[in-house]
């Protein structure tokens, strides 16, 4: 029998890459999705068959919600998954200041609901919690598994709660539960309102004459940026170990938003100063200045290390958005510049 995995947040960037990885390893994969009046499966459409009628299908979508404990308990009773990857969250930092209650309910209490569902059903499963480098906040870099948390946003506070609860359930109920403290990781599937995609999407539209201005906030913030497909490999590796533990996943290199901006525009043969304006409405109420991850523990125990570093990552993102826009224009789609 193939292993069975449940992924919350399967329609997001990480969920889609993780689904690809697990399917390539022979898993049966079930993804949690919220009810919506529109289709939100664009990132996994290439993986989906008619799973309701195809006897050979190995990817299935299940209706449920991290805000609905009953749906989670019923789902776990029915699926009995070998592995659970909790990637679902309200994951946009800036937006979390505007909707802190919802962010806490889904990102923090959602983790509590699924851990309690595991305990209630009594299933023997391995649990992965998607933790975040944002939890470190203003803690001086480099940050590792022993660094203190100083969250600087409602999103980061919610992630700290979920992190600690995962450790608590591991210690209290002998659960195989791991935290992956992932630093920023990007890809062409990144959400368009995250700063990297906002930049590269704008570059594509500027190149094609569809946009003439890009509005950004703090250009001095520094982040440790890696490549998302490599980071989901680390998620899987954590659940294959003999004992559960927590791991930082990062490149160990830090670059400012301005460095990313400059490299991305240069990759497309453009000068960013001609197109970029600073808009204070994009500043956070509390900033996180510098995040640099120390992934030496993951390297030693998991054998994981990043292969795609900053220059190549920037090229992948810029090239991906230019190709995407060109394919959309070829299909006759219309576009308007969007600044989130």
Which among 17, 27, 128, 155 is annotated as catalytic?
155
Take residue 212 and report the two structure tokens written for it. Answer: 């003439």
- Using DSSP, state whether 227 is helix, strand or coil: strand
What values do phi and psi take at 85, rounded to 5? -115, 110
CB 183 within 8 A of CB 130: no
Beta strands per DSSP E along the chain: 4-8, 28-33, 59-63, 83-86, 126-132, 176-182, 185-186, 214-216, 222-223, 226-227, 246-249, 255-256, 276-278
The dihedral built from the CA positions of residue 280, 267, 194 and 133, taken in this order, carries a sign that is: negative
Is residue 134 annotated as a catalytic residue, yes or no?
yes
Residue 179 φ/ψ region, left for φ over 0, alpha for ψ in the -120 to 50 degree band, beta for the rest: beta
Q: How far apart are CA 225 and CA 317, in angstroms?
A: 12
CA nearest 314: which of 274, 248, 258, 238? 258
Which among 28, 83, 134, 230 is annotated as catalytic?
134
Is residue 128 annotated as a catalytic residue, yes or no?
no
- Using DSSP, state whether 312 is helix, strand or coil: helix
Take residue 175 and report the two structure tokens written for it. Answer: 């659960």
Which among 16, 96, 132, 267 is annotated as catalytic?
132
Angle between helices 110-121 and 69-79 (to 10 degrees): 40
What values do phi and psi take at 182, rounded to 5? -90, 130
CA nearest 206: which of 37, 338, 88? 338
CB 115 within 8 A of CB 76: no
What amino acid positions are annotated as catalytic residues? 132, 134, 155
């Amino acid at each position: 029998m193939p292993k069975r995995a449940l992924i919350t947040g399967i329609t997001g960037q990480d969920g889609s890459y993780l689904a690809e990885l697990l399917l390539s390893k022979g898993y049966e994969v079930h993804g949690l999705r919220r009810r919506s009046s529109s289709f939100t499966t664009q990132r996994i459409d290439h993986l989906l068959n008619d799973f309701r009628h195809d006897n050979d299908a190995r990817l299935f979508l299940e209706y449920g919600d991290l805000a609905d404990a009953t749906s989670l308990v019923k789902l776990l009773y029915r699926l009995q998954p070998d592995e659970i990857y909790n990637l679902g969250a309200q994951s946009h930092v800036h937006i979390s200041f505007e909707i802190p209650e919802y962010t806490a309910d889904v990102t923090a209490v959602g983790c509590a609901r699924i851990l309690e569902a595991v305990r209630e059903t009594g299933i023997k499963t391995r649990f992965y919690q998607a933790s975040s480098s944002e939890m470190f906040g203003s803690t001086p870099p480099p940050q590792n598994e022993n660094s203190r948390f100083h969250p600087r946003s409602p999103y980061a506070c919610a992630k700290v709660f979920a992190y600690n609860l995962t450790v608590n359930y591991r210690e209290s109920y002998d659960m195989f539960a791991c935290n992956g403290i992932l630093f920023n990781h990007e890809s062409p599937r990144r959400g368009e309102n995250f700063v990297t995609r906002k930049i590269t999407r704008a570059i594509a539209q500027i190149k094609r004459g569809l946009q003439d201005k890009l509005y950004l906030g703090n250009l001095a913030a520094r982040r440790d940026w890696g490549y998302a497909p490599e980071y989901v490999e680390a998620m899987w590796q954590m659940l294959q170990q003999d004992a559960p533990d927590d791991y930082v996943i990062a490149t160990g290199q830090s670059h400012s938003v301005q460095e990313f901006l400059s490299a991305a525009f240069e990759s497309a043969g453009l000068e960013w100063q001609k197109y970029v304006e600073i808009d204070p409405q994009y500043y956070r109420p509390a900033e996180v200045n510098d995040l640099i991850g120390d992934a030496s523990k993951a390297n030693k125990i998991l054998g994981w290390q990043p292969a795609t570093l900053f220059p190549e990552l920037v090229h992948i993102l810029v090239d991906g958005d230019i190709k995407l826009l060109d394919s959309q224009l070829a299909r006759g789609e219309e576009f308007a510049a969007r600044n989130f």
